[in-house]
Structure 1
Amino acid sequence: MPQRSENFERKKGLAIFLSLVMLAMTAGYAFFAAEFIQQLSSLDVQAFYLRLSMMVIPGLIASPIFLLSIYIMLRRHFGHLPERHFALWVKVSLLLLALAFIVRITSGFWLPGYVAAHGFTHCSKLENPSPFASQVWVRQPQYCHELSYLVNVEVLEWFDEQQAAGAKPSNDEVIAQIELLIAEHKQRYQ
C-alpha cells in the first residue's frame, strides 16, 4: 500500500508541475502577442529595427490546447475523465491547430508587405539562423550591411541601447557603428 501512495504522490506532483509549466507557456504567448500587436500598431515610432515573429499569433491561437491539456491531465490523475471530455479536447485541439496554421500562412503573405509599406526593409543578415527565429526589419537599407551577419547580436544590442536611451543617431553614425563592430570582430577573430 505505501508503494501505491508514493506513486500517486509522484504523479500528483508531476501533474501539478506540468500544469504550472503549461500555464506559464500560455501566459508567455499572451505577453508576446500583446507586445507583437503593440509593435505593429506603432511601426512609425520604431527608430532602427523591429523583430517580427510569425509564430506569436498562431501560438496564441493554439495556447488553449495547453489549458485543455491541464484539465485533461488533472482529471485523469485525480478523478474520472469522461470519454466525451477527451474526445472534445481532441476535436478542439485539431480545430485550433488548423486555425493557427491558416493564420500563420495568411500572416506570412500579409505581414511582410504591411511592414515594408511602413518603410522597413527585411534584413536576413541580422537574423538568428534558427528556423523559428524572428524576422529582422531595419528602417534604412544601409543598416543591413553585407557583413552584419558576423556581429548580428552586437548590432541589435546597440540598436536596443540607442532606442532605450532615446538617442537618434544619424544614418551615417549608425552605419559607422556597424562597420566599427565588424572591424572589431575581424580584428579579434582573424
Structure 2
Amino acid sequence: MEQGEHFERKKALAVFLSLIMLGAIAVSVFKALELFALLNDFDSQPFYFRLPLVAFPLLITSPMLMMLIYIVLRRHFGNLPEQHFALWVKVSLVLLAVAFVLRIVLGFWLPGYVAANGFTHCSKLENPSPFASQVWVRQPQYCHELSYLVNVELLEWFDEQRAVGAKPSNDEVIAQIELFIAEHKQRYQ
C-alpha cells in the first residue's frame, strides 16, 4: 500500500512539473511573438515600450523544456533508454549555445535597430535584473534624471496612459515623476 502511495505522489509531482514546464514554454512563445510584433510595427508604440532581449533565446531553449518533460515522465513511468537521454543532452547543449549566441547578437543589433526607429534607451527606468526588459522611450525627456527613484511607479503610470490612448507631454511626465518622488518621501519618512 505504501509503495502505491509513493508511486502516486511521484506521478502527481511529475505531472505538476510537466505543467509548469508547459506554462514556461507558453510564456516564452508569447514573449517571442510579442517581440516579433513589436519589431515589425514601431508606430504602434506611442511613447514607450519594453524590449525583452531574452524572448527569442527563451523560445529557442523551450524545446529543452519539452525534453525535460519527456525525461521526467519516462523516468517515473517507464524506462528511459540511455541513447535517448544522451541525444537529449547533446541537443540541449546545442540549443543553449545557439541561445547564448543569439542573445549576444541581439544585444548588439537590436539597440541600433530600435534607435534607428526613433526611440531612446532609458536605463533609469529599468529593473536591474539581468533578465529584465530594456525600456525605450520616444522622447528622450521621458527619461528624467530622477526617474530611477520611482521607475516601477512610473512604468505603471506609463502603462495606464498607453491603455487609455494618452500620450503625455514632457511636462506631464516630469510632474508625475516629481509627484511620485514626493509620495515616496512622504511614505518612507
TM-score (norm 1): 0.93
Q: Structure 2 stretches of 5 or more lacking a match? A: none
Would the aligned equivalents of 1:15 and 1:74 in 2 still touch at CA under 8 Å? yes
Give the equivalent residue in structure 1 for 2:85. Answer: 86
Matched ranges for 1:67-78 at <5 A = 67-78=66-77
Give the equivalent residue in structure 2 for 1:34. Answer: 33
Give the equivalent residue in structure 2 for 1:135. Answer: 134
Inter-partner Cα distance in structure 2 for 1:80 and 1:129: 44
Tell me whether 1:120 sits opposite 2:126 in the alignment.
no
Q: RMSD of the alignment, in Å?
A: 1.5
Deviations 1:66-119 (A, max 9, x none): 101111111111112111111111111111111101110100000110111111
Runs of at least 4 residues of structure 1 off by over 6 A? none
Inter-partner Cα distance in structure 2 for 1:188 and 1:18: 41
Segment of structure 1 superposing worse, 178-187 or 130-139: 178-187
Matched ranges for 1:1-190 at <5 A = 2-189=1-188
Deviations 1:14-69 (A, max 9, x none): 11111111111101111111111112222122122111121111011001101011
Inter-partner Cα distance in structure 2 for 1:7 and 1:185: 52
Q: 1:6 to 1:144 in 2, by over 3 A?
A: same
Identity of aligned residues (%): 72
Inter-partner Cα distance in structure 2 for 1:9 and 1:169: 56
The SS at the match of 1:50 is strand
Inter-partner Cα distance in structure 2 for 1:134 and 1:47: 18
Would the aligned equivalents of 1:143 and 1:178 in 2 still touch at CA under 8 Å? no
Shift of 1:181: 2.5
TM-score (norm 2): 0.93
Shift of 1:173: 2.6
Shift of 1:172: 2.8
Segment of structure 1 superposing worse, 138-147 or 42-51: 42-51
Inter-partner Cα distance in structure 2 for 1:154 and 1:115: 24
Opposite residue 26 of structure 1, the aligned amino acid is I
